[in-house]
Amino acid sequence: MKFEKREILLIVGILCIMIGVMALPGMNLIYAILIAILLYFAMKVFVGRKKRQILRDVGQGICAVCGAKITENKCPKCDSDKQEKT
Ligand SMILES: [Zn+2]
């Protein structure tokens, strides 16, 4: 398993939360580990969703002229420019 730098930061952050949770009254090690695991997977899902969202946005393409994001197969900037000129 290859760890990214961001993933290590995530694990360190969760470990800190886990230690904090363990310090709470009525908490034991098993609860703290369960919370840490849940947080880890929640973050993984969140990051995965964000990545997919970025891919979907980029998937529509970028205008070769101005670099704006293409929406509905049109460049919002260049199309409005053309309309203004004509
Ligand atoms: Zn454009």
Between the CA of 79 and the centroid of ligand 1 the distance, in Å, is 7
Sign of CA dihedral 29, 33, 36, 42: negative
**For residues 62-84, average pLDDT:** 77
Q: State the residue range of the domain holding 35.
A: 5-85
- The answer on pLDDT for 82 being more than 60 is no
- The answer on pLDDT for 33 being more than 60 is yes
Between the CA of 57 and the centroid of ligand 1 the distance, in Å, is 16
Q: Give the distance from CA 30 to its chain's centroid.
A: 28
Between the CA of 82 and the centroid of ligand 1 the distance, in Å, is 10
pLDDT range class, residue 38, cuts 50, 70, 90: very high
Between the CA of 62 and the centroid of ligand 1 the distance, in Å, is 8
Between the CA of 75 and the centroid of ligand 1 the distance, in Å, is 5
Could you tell me if residue 4 is left (phi over 0), alpha (psi between -120 and 50 degrees) or otherwise beta?
Answer: beta
Higher pLDDT, 74 or 85: 74
Answering whether pTM is above 0.75, one says: no
Pair of tokens at residue 75? 């460049």
For the chain, how many structural domains are there in total?
1
State how far the Cα of 49 lies from the Cα of 56, in Å rounded to an integer: 10
